[in-house]
Chains A and B, each alone.
Chain A
Amino acid sequence: MGRARDLFRYSATRLGLAPLMLWLIATLVFLLLRVAPGDPVDAVLGSRAPAAAKAAMRARLGLDQSLFDQYLSYLNGLVHGDLGQALINQEPVSKIIGNTLPASLELSVIALIAAAIVGLSIGFSGIARPEGSIDFSGRLYGLGTYALPPFWVAMLIQLVFAVSLGWFPVGGRFPPSLLPPEGSGFFLWDSLVSGNWPAFAGSIRHLVLPAATLALLLSGTFTTALRLNLRRTLRGDYVEAARSRGLSERQVILHHALPNALLPVLTIAGITVASLIGGALLIEVTFSWPGIALRLQEAINQRDYPVVQGIVVVIAALVVLVSVAVDLLVAALDPRVRY
C-alpha cells in the first residue's frame, strides 16, 4: 500500500512538473525566434511589398505590439489550446501538426520496432560466448551504427536501393498516382482498416527505406545497451543463485537475467522514441518524408513564428509525456526503484 502511495506521489510530482517544463520551453522558443534575424512579414509579402501592406499585416498579426504583449497573447492562446495560424497561409497550426505528426509517428514507431528487434537480437546473440566472434561482431555493429553519420547513411541507402536498384521509391510517403486513405493520417493503419491494398502496399514501399535507415542507426544503441546490461546482470548474485539451484543456462538467461537487463533498455527506448518525433529531420529531408521535423525546418526558413512555436511545444509535450510514462512504467516494473 505504501509503495502504491509513493508511486502515486511520484507520478503526481512528475506530471506536475511537466507544465513548468513546457512553459520554459515555450518561452525560450518565443524569445529565440524574436532574436533570430529575418522578418516574418518580409517572408510573407516579400521585401518589395508596399510599406502600407507590410504595416497592415504587422498589425493583423499583432507584430506591432510590444514583445511582452505578444508574449502574453501567445501564452494565453497556448493555455486555451490555440496554437495560432501560420503566417504564410493562415492555416491553423493545429491542422498543420495534425497533418504532419502522424507521418513522423508512423515512421518513428515502425523504425523503433525494427531497431529493437534487430538491435536486441544482435545484442542477445553473443551472450552464449562472451568475447567470441559473434559477441565481437555485435559490439562492432553497435559501435559502428552508432557512429555512422545519419545523412550519409540515408543518402547511400537511397542511392543504392532507390536510384540504382529501383526497388523502392526515392522519397515521399505515398504513390502520387493513388489517393491517400482518409482517416487518422496513419496511412498504414488507414489503408489496412479500409482494406485498400494498393494504398497499403504503396505506403509500405515508401516506408521501407526511411524506416530501415532509422532502424539501422538506432539498432546499435539497443545492441550495446542490452549487451552491457546482460553481461552485468549475468554477474549478479541472483543469477549465481539461480545457477546453483540447478537451472539450465537458457532458463537463467531468459527468466532471470534478461528481464532485468531489459529494464534500462526500456528507458533508452522511451528516450529514443521521444527524441525521434522531432529528431528525424535528416531522414525526413533525405527521403522527402512529410513529417513534423521537415515542416519545422520549412517553418524556420520562412520565419513562420506560430508554426515553429506550435511544433516545438507539441514535440516538447510529447517528449515530456513519453519520458514521464517510461519513468512510471520502469518504476512500476522494478521494485528496486526508489522515489
Chain B
Amino acid sequence: MAAFTQVGCQPSSPSQRITVASAGSISSLDPAQVSTVHSLQLLTAIGDPLYSLNDDGSLLPRLAASKPTISADGRLVTIPLRTDVRFHDGTRFDAEAMAFSLRRFLRIGTLSYVVGDRIKAVEVAAPHTLRLTLNRRSTSLEGLLTSINLTPLSPRAYAKHKDSFLHDNFVGTGPYRLTKFNEKQQRLEPFEQYWGEPPRNNGLDLISLSNSTALFGALRSGEVDVLLSASIDEDQRHALNQQAQRGDLNETVGPAMEIGYVTLLSNTAPLSDQRLRQAIALSLNRDEASERVSYGLRRPLRALIPPSLPGGGVASWPRHNPTQAKTLLRQSGYCQGTQLEVPLTFRSNVPADKLLALTWQAQVQRDLADCMVLKLDGVESTTVYRQLGEGAFKAVILDWLGSYPDPEAYLNPLLSCSDAEGHVCRDGEAAISGSFWSAPGLQKALQQSDSLRGTPRMEVLNAIEKLTVDGAAYIPVWLESPRSWSQRSLNPPEYDRSGFLRLAQLQRVSQKQGDD
C-alpha cells in the first residue's frame, strides 16, 4: 500500500501537456453567451478573433487579412479575411462563415448589447471579404472587433444551432481543438491544420477547483503547471507574489483592465446631495486600502478608464482629503452632532470587497468620526446584481471588466442614459448600474466620443470624466491586473493586450531547450 501510495504521489514525469487551473465552472462554451473571464480565456485557445491589439494599441489582423477599410462617412466597414483558415471540422473559413457567426451573435447573443445599435447589416462582399454597415460612425468598433465573443463558428457544425446556444461543444478556428468538455475540466489538443503558429505544447488540461486554498495548494504542490489569478484570496495572491520574487515561481501580470469602484445612489436622499457624494469620495484613502487589502497588488485608481486604453489613466478623481470632506459635510448640515450614516454594501462572496469595506469603515472612523459613519452590509452577489437597478443600495462596492478594450466599454455601461431629467437618469445603463445619475450634455458627449478619433476624442473623454468626477456618483477605487503563476519548469507565460493569457505559448523549459 505504501509503495502504491508513493508511486502515486511522485510528481509525474514532465508531460508535454500542461495543466492550467482556475476557479469556477464553465457552463457554456457558446461565444454568444459566455461572459466570465474563465470561459473567455478558454475561448481564446479554441477560437480566434478577427483582430488583436498590438502593444501600441493598433489593430493586428488575425483572421482578418489586413486592417479594416472604413468609408468616408464611417458607416461602411470592409474587412478582408484570410484565405488559409480551416475550422476544426475541416470546413473552410470564409466571409459566409464569418457573416453566419456575426448574425447569430446579433440574433441570440446575450451580450448583443455590447454591439448595441451600431451594426445595421452584415454582408458578404466577396468570398473572403466581409462588409459591415453601421447605423452610425463608431470608433469603438475597432476594439469590438478584437472581442473573442465574435469568434467565427463553423456553419456546418452549428447548422442546428443557428438560433440556439450550443453549450458543450465548440467548433472554431483556434490553435486547439476541444476534445473533452465538462464544467470542471476541459481537454484541448493542438489543431494540426491551424493557420498560424502552432501551439508550443502538446495540449492543455484546464481544470476548475472550487476554492482559493485548493488552487493555491495545487500550484504549491506542483499538481498544476499554471494558475490563473481570478478568485484567489488576497493573502494567497500575496504569498505567490512573494514566492515569485524569491524565484520559486514565474509570475506574469497582464494589462490592468478590471476596475473596482463604488456606486452611490444619487436619486434619493441623502446622497442626492452632490456635496455628500463628493465628501464620501474624499473619505477614501485608496493607497492605504490597496496596501491593507491587497498588499499593493491592486493599483489605486482615480479614473473610470483603465490607463492602458485611450483617454485612460488621467487621475481625475480627487485624492483622500478628510479635511475637505469634513467641510462639505458641514455645509450639508452634518458634523454638528449629526452623523451622516451611509449603508455600504459589499458582495459577501468577494473577499476583497469585504476587506475594502472594513478598511474604509476604519478610515472614516479615524478621520471623520464625528461627521460620518459607514454601516456595512454583506449581500451575496447574485442578489446585489438583481437589486442594483431597483435602487436598493445607497453605496455598493462593485467591479467592471469591459467586454472589449475601448473606453466606450467602460463609460457606456456606467454612464449611458436613455431617459434623463437633469441629474437623474430614469432609464438606461446608469440606472441599471445603480447610480441613477446623469448630467446635462453627458449622453451627447458619450455619443460624440464614439465618433471621434485621436486628440479630439481624448478631449471629449476627459470632459466626460470631469463631469463624472463632479457628479461623484461613482468612486473608482482600484485597478486589477490579471495575474498568473507558473512552475519554473515552464517559460514565463505572456498576456495579450486584451488581458488573456497566451495559452498556446506555454512551453516547458526542457522542451524549449530540446527544440533549440
Contact = CB atoms under 8 A, between A and B. Distances in A.
A45 B432 CA distance: 14
A273 to B, nearest CB: 23
A167 B209 CA distance: 18
Interface in A79-97: 86, 88-91
Interface stretch (B146-154, B211-219, B284-292): B211-219
A104 to B, nearest CB: 14
Contacts of A174: 185
Contacts of A50: 112-113
25 contacts: A37-B383, A39-B386, A46-B111, A48-B113, A86-B27, A99-B182, A155-B213, A158-B217, A162-B221, A162-B223, A167-B5, A170-B209, A170-B217, A172-B185, A174-B185, A201-B8, A204-B8, A205-B5, A205-B9, A286-B213, A287-B214, A288-B210, A288-B214, A294-B210, A301-B382
Contacts of A172: 184-185, 207, 209
Interface in B1-39: 4-5, 7-9, 11-12, 15, 17, 19, 25, 27-28, 35
Contact of A89 (B165, B220, B389): B165
A96 to B, nearest CB: 9
A244 interface: no
A91 B168 contact: yes
Given A170-B214, A171-B210, A172-B184, A47 B110 contact: no
B496 interface: no
B4 A90 contact: no
B405 to A, nearest CB: 18
Interface string A159-201: 1001100111111101011010000000000000000000001
Contacts of B187: 179
Contact of A167 (B9, B27, B167, B386): B9
- Band of interface residues on A: 35 or more
A31 interface: no
B170 to A, nearest CB: 13
Contacts of A298: 25
Given A39-B386, A88-B28, A301-B380, A170 B221 contact: yes
A177 B214 contact: no
A330 B216 CA distance: 47
The 5 A-B pairs of least Cβ separation, nearest first, read: A163-B217, A176-B205, A89-B167, A171-B214, A170-B217
B332 interface: no
B180 interface: yes
Contact of A47 (B213, B223, B380, B385): B385
Contact of A169 (B28, B110, B208, B223): B223
Interface of A: 37-39, 42-50, 53, 86, 88-91, 99, 155, 158-159, 162-163, 166-172, 174, 176-177, 179, 201-202, 204-205, 284-288, 290, 294, 298, 301-303
A47 B388 contact: yes
Give the interface centre of A284, A288, A298 by most chain B CB atoms within 10 Å. A288
- Interface of A, helix, strand, loop or mixed by DSSP: loop
B387 interface: yes
Nearest to B15: A177
B207 A176 contact: yes
Interface in B175-197: 180, 182-185, 187
Contacts of A176: 19, 185, 205, 207, 224
Interface in B354-394: 380, 382-383, 385-389
For this complex, into which size category does the number of interface residues on chain B fall? 35 or more
Max count, chain B CB within 10 A of own CB: residue among A39, A53, A171: A171
B162 to A, nearest CB: 15
Contacts of B111: 46
Interface centre among B8, B11, B167, B380 (most CB of A within 10 A): B8
A170 B21 CA distance: 12
Contact of B211 (A88, A159, A285): A285
B222 interface: yes
Interface in B129-151: none
Nearest to B219: A170
Contact of A46 (B35, B208, B210): B35
Contacts of B220: 163
Given A37-B386, A39-B386, A170-B218, 19 more contacts: A38-B380, A38-B382, A46-B35, A50-B113, A89-B167, A91-B168, A155-B213, A163-B217, A171-B217, A176-B205, A177-B19, A202-B8, A285-B211, A288-B208, A288-B209, A288-B210, A288-B214, A302-B27, A303-B382
B19 A89 contact: no
B176 to A, nearest CB: 15
Contacts of A167: 5, 9
A255 B207 CA distance: 52
Nearest to A168: B9
Contacts of A38: 380, 382-383, 386
Interface string B394-430: 0000000000000000000100000000000000010
Contacts of A46: 35, 110-111
A288 B28 CA distance: 19
A303 B387 CA distance: 14
Contacts of B183: 290
B8 A205 contact: yes
Contact of A171 (B113, B167, B209): B209
A170 B223 contact: yes
A50 B221 CA distance: 46
A177 B389 CA distance: 44
